[in-house]
Amino acid sequence: MIDFPGSPTTGQIFTSGALSWRWDGTKWLAQGAAARYVVACFVPGVPTASQLLLEHRVSKAIEIPANFGAALGHASQARGTVAATASTTIVVRKATSAAPSTFSDVGTIVIAAAALVGTFATSGGAAVSFAAGDTLALVAPATADTTFANFAATLAAVES
């Protein structure tokens, strides 16, 4: 059993034998081990055509796993409380810090007709990297579904 220091300061490194850990302010992380990064949103009501549902400026470099797979035990999730009439696609977009008003599509969240829960996919099935300062956005479809309502999403990523 490792005897960690009792009152660490954020960023403090602790070494025991050949292993090292860093205190992140709440827990000890093995050096080189990734930490999870979670973004969540809730949009009440029926989204309008092309409505911006989320705009999040990333505070650390992160990677969304391919097809929004599990990230250190967390899974990306999306749902509404009123089912979609037709298939509804929420677009996941990225803008770099260097070009903050130029977005590219990097994934989708699809809510099937008569469904509440979304299915995630990244563009090309590949992982998506964001640098600190990049922007992650979720945008409603250009043609609004008249019934799908109360969109909520949690996106799980890994700090890189």
What CATH number does residue 92 fall under? 2.60.120
Tell how strand 19-23 and strand 28-30 pair up: antiparallel
d(CA 76, CA 62): 14
Q: Are residues 72 and 120 in the same domain?
A: yes
Domain span holding position 9: 1-33
* Percent of the chain residues past pLDDT 90, beyond the cut: 72
Tell if the pTM clears 0.75, that is, is over it: yes
Residue ranges of alpha helices (H) inside the chain are none
66 φ, ψ (degrees, to nearest 5): -50, 130
Q: Are residues 57 and 121 in the same domain?
A: yes
Q: Are residues 154 and 100 in the same domain?
A: yes
Q: Are residues 89 and 155 in the same domain?
A: yes
Does residue 143 come out as left (phi exceeding 0), alpha (psi in the -120 to 50 range) or beta?
Answer: beta
Q: Are residues 10 and 89 in the same domain?
A: no
Q: Are residues 50 and 26 in the same domain?
A: no
Q: How far is CA 5 from CA 12, 22, 56, 112, 158, in A?
A: 10, 11, 35, 51, 26
Pick the residue with more confidence: 15 or 48? 48
Q: How confident is the model at residue 160 (pLDDT cuts 50, 70, 90)?
A: confident
Q: Are residues 88 and 28 in the same domain?
A: no
Res 29 pLDDT > 80: no
Dihedral sign (CA 127, 130, 134, 135): positive
Q: Are residues 38 and 94 in the same domain?
A: yes
Q: Are residues 106 and 151 in the same domain?
A: yes
Q: What is the pLDDT of residue 141?
A: 97
Q: Are residues 18 and 2 in the same domain?
A: yes
Res 49 pLDDT > 80: yes
What pLDDT, in 10s, does the model give residues 100-158? 999 999 999 999 999 999 999 999 999 999 999 999 999 999 999 999 999 999 999 98
Least confidently predicted of 35-39, 71-75, 95-99: 71-75
Q: Could you give the number of structural domains in the chain?
A: 2
Q: Are residues 47 and 69 in the same domain?
A: yes
